[in-house]
Amino acid sequence: MRPENYQAQSHPPSNEYELFIGPNHPGIEGNYAFKLKLHGDVVLAGKADGGYLHRGFEKLMEGRLWIQNIALVPRICVPDPVPMEVTYSMAVEDLCGLEVPERAQWLRVLQLELSRIAAHLFTFGGHAATTGMYTTSYWGIADRDLILDLFEALTGGRVYHIFNIPGGTRRDVPPGFLEQVSQTLDYLESRLPDYDNLLFTNQVFITRAKDVGAMTQEQALEWGVTGPNLRATGLAFDVRRDDPYLVYEQLEFDVPTEAAGDAWARAMVRRAELKQSFRILRQVIERLPSIGGPVRAPIPNPLAWNVPAGETYARVESSKGELAYYAVSNGGDKPYRVHVRGPSSMHAVQVLEWLAEGARLEDVAQIMFSLDACPPEVDR
């Protein structure tokens, strides 16, 4: 029997509902939110909800001296900070017509590749954890710490280094540093078979990651996808090779690709890139001792440094994709305008929304981690 005050109400079908993931959720990379509309456990539509990490970087930079901004830029992408410093420095050097000494260029390549390895190890850990395999993340993050130790020996900081400045680097390598790098590389290389067993040839991972979040090459190009995510769709484009900066022209490396364009292909491309970074670093270790000279070009008094008026666009290949700085100077001691073109602003917003459509609920976190999106860089 129904209670007296019973009133029939019309509801939307109960198998259609909305779910909020994040901003405080282990399946989300950082402080970022995602709203989903679901039918059962199939995603009908997704909407990215960013802005939790917005600090107004581009505005802050206009209020600080050119040299002070060096301390600000690494905070834009926390897991991979070195490309931020290097690209910003390249932009300022371009505006001033500063020539960077060769040794400093090699040192920058050394840091860039170390940072790429650290970022990829971190990503493997996150990606594996979203498929329920936590061992990889525990080991990956502990191995990443070895790279952070190297950074500490070189720069004094674990995560933020503030080591590259316009004109070169702050210091030279400490004695015995290259041997230390070489030993770490040996160790990391010996760990790759372990990671293969744990993750890359693990049937659980393959079943979970194959055909999840797949995009075609045409879609990837249309959506502005860059970096490993683009190479996982079969296009061999790498800024390091196709628009070389620093000394990448003198280095030998391949640009690994995969054809499938799904989460598995993206993980495999990163794994192959790890090997290429080892290869590049070995060449750097071999060549660096034979390159003499200073590590920094003389720069004017940084506190009263009026950068000549002009505009420039500097780009590098970061571990997440193509990273670029567009800087405008009006001849003052502070930037007139700096714009950061981060790869994640495409990957974590529209690409993630489109790939989530039609995916299953449990794969949404995996898609996000396999795109290797970096929320602080989306929000800036």
Partner 1 sequence: MSDLSKIPIHTEKHAPEEARTNPLAGVFDELVRFAQSRSMYMLHYCTGCGAIELPPAMTSRFDMERLGIQPMVTPRQADILLVTGYVSVKTLKRIILTYEQMPSPKYVIGICSCTVNGGMYWQSYATAKKLSEYLPVDLYIAGCMPRPEAVIEGMRALMANIQSGETEPWKDYYQRYDYYLGNQQHLFGDNWQTPTDVIGQAQHYGLAGPETEGEHTRILQQYQQPLVAHKLRLK
Q: Which positions lie near partner 1, rule CB under 8 A? A: 12, 16-18, 23-26, 30-31, 35-37, 44-47, 51-56, 59-60, 63, 71-72, 75, 78-79, 122, 125, 137-139, 141-142, 144-145, 148, 158-160, 376
Nearest to 237 by CA among 211, 257, 220, 253: 257
41 or 242: CB nearest partner 1: 41
The least CB distance from residue 140 to partner 1, in Å, is: 8
The least CB distance from residue 3 to partner 1, in Å, is: 13
237 or 336: CB nearest partner 1: 336
32 or 106: CB nearest partner 1: 32
| E strand or H helix that includes residue 200 | none
52 or 336: CB nearest partner 1: 52
71 or 309: CB nearest partner 1: 71
Whole-number Cα distances in Å, 177 to 155, 181, 184, 290: 11, 6, 11, 15
Q: Is 373 helix (H, G, I), strand (E, B) or coil?
A: coil
The least CB distance from residue 245 to partner 1, in Å, is: 26
The least CB distance from residue 6 to partner 1, in Å, is: 13
The least CB distance from residue 261 to partner 1, in Å, is: 25
Rounded to whole angstroms, the Cα distance separating 226 from 221 reads: 8
23 or 310: CB nearest partner 1: 23
**CB proximity list for 199: less than 8 A, separation 6 or greater:** 124, 128, 133, 136, 205, 267
* Burial tier of 200 (Cβ tally within 10 Å: 0-12, 13-18, 19+): buried
Give bridge partners of residue 168 from the DSSP assignment. 165, 296
The least CB distance from residue 46 to partner 1, in Å, is: 8
Cβ–Cβ under 8 Å, residues 209 and 365: no
* Burial tier of 301 (Cβ tally within 10 Å: 0-12, 13-18, 19+): exposed
The least CB distance from residue 298 to partner 1, in Å, is: 28
Q: What are phi and psi of 65, to 5 degrees?
A: -65, 160
44 or 260: CB nearest partner 1: 44
Count of other CB atoms within 10 angstroms of residue 55: 13
| E strand or H helix that includes residue 79 | none
